[in-house]
Amino acid sequence: MRHISMTPFGRQPVTAGLLATQALAEAPALQAEPDKWALLRDLTTARASFAVSDRDLVVLSALLSFHPGKVLADDEKLIVFPSNAALSDRAHGMAESTLRRHLAALTAAGLILRRDSPNGKRYATRDRSGVLDRAFGFDLRPLLVLSPRIAAAAETARRDALALRRLREMVVVRLRDASKLIVWAEETGGRVPDGLLQAVASLQRALRRKLDIGIMAQFAAEADILLDRARALIKTEKMGGSDADNERHQQNSNPDSSESDPCCEQQKATPTQRAEPAIPLALVLKAAPDIRDYATEGIHDWRALVAVANFVRPMLGISADAWTQARQSMGDAVAAVTLACILQRAETIACPGGYLRALTEKAGQGAFSPGPMVMALLRAENERAV
């Protein structure tokens, strides 16, 4: 006979939540016998709906491991009675005080029910024939009764997660298209409204946070507007820029032209190859790791860092002109290190383009080195770690 105790041991009072879970434990269960580990996976997916944490579920997993068999059947085996030491062992050495806290959370969520003995110990007794007649411990029957609701909540959570992932992909692609179209219009002499590229970069930075589907839907609407504005720039460029393009093409294709070859002209405008920064590349990447996120093949040398910095530059709202001036004044590698540091602090820098221009001006006066920026980021990281 399966013994049922209704009240908690010791000073713990009877509460409305306890009585509700008691009623749930006595409710009829479906004929189906769910796989206990599949049920735990569903509960992990839908844990927000049941107000339990991942650590709570570690303890629930340990409890389920004391239940014999693979499925939860409506019988006396649903009460498990491990000691705290045994339970801690299967919860990866969790401290007993922490175990008690998570067991209380599982009980409050109505997923398990305490069946306390007269002295508060967990144990079971058998009759003369060896049949279990009394058990005191944790009753898993509420979990069995809730299994259809858990499965439905998990399916909803998976569907919502997929919708959020698809919506996020759409926003990322649209913002990427918008930023590159704006940069193209800017570099070909088009008229770009003030703040347009900065708005795109700001929204891209906001995507780094964990967002719910409601906020993501708002971002999707903003991304649509920004992409439409970027497309309008391209249409304007196509209508008004063809004559200038033809004229430039004729000038560059004339072998007798007195103008220098474009490649030679670029070499004249760019200072001679500067020495690599004195600070090691590995230290730069440790201080400013965010730039790695934009490197598809990793950053193994200064040339790769310059290439990634060139890609990231428009996302920060830094104009092509400001970037060119920085590279000319600082040298490619130093400019790339500077941009990596700016990216790392993007949330605290109101105007990355203006900040880079100020540093470029210092570099032109011989009063700038990226070393202090790198060391400041390292110190900040060490302080957070402490």
Q: What is the pLDDT of residue 335?
A: 95
Q: Which of 1-5, 216-220, 378-382 has the highest mean pLDDT?
A: 216-220
pTM over 0.85: no
Residue 257 has pLDDT above 50, yes or no: no
**Alpha helix positions (H), the chain:** 16-26, 36-45, 54-65, 84-90, 96-108, 141-187, 196-206, 213-240, 242-253, 262-269, 281-287, 302-312, 320-330, 332-344, 352-364, 371-385
> Which amino acid would we find at residue 252?
N
pLDDT of residue 271: 43
What pLDDT shows up at residue 5? 53
Residues 335-372 pLDDT 10s: 999 999 999 988 888 888 889 998 999 998 888 888 88
pLDDT at position 25 is 59
Gap between the Cα atoms of 339 and 346, Å rounded = 10
Per the listing, tokens 């004339």 go with 254
Burial class (CB in 10 A: 0-12, 13-18, 19+), 132: middle
pLDDT at residue 236, rounded to an integer: 56
Would the pLDDT of 45 be above 60?
A: yes
pLDDT given for residue 64 in this prediction: 93
Confidence of residue 41 (pLDDT cuts 50, 70, 90): very high
Q: Given this model, what pLDDT does residue 6 score?
A: 53
**Average per-residue pLDDT for the chain:** 79
Question: What is the rounded CA–CA span in Å between residue 120 and residue 97?
Answer: 16
Domain boundaries along the sequence of the chain? 16-139, 162-239, 272-385
Q: Left (φ > 0), alpha (ψ -120 to 50) or beta: where does 266 sit?
A: alpha
| Cβ neighbour number for residue 378 with a 10 Å cutoff | 15
Q: What is the DSSP string of 314-346?
A: GGGT--HHHHHHHHHHH-HHHHHHHHHHHHHTG
% of residues, the chain, pLDDT over 90? 24
Query: What's the whole-number mean pLDDT along residues 97-106?
Result: 91
With 70 as the cut, is the pLDDT of residue 274 above it? no
| Fold classified for 16-139 | Arc Repressor Mutant, subunit A (1.10.10)
* Least confident residue range of 105-114, 220-229, 245-254, 347-356: 245-254
pLDDT at 240 over 90: no
pLDDT over threshold 90, residue 14: no
Q: For 50-78, how does the pLDDT look when each residue is reduced to its tens digit (9 = 90+)? A: 999 999 999 999 999 999 889 988 887 88
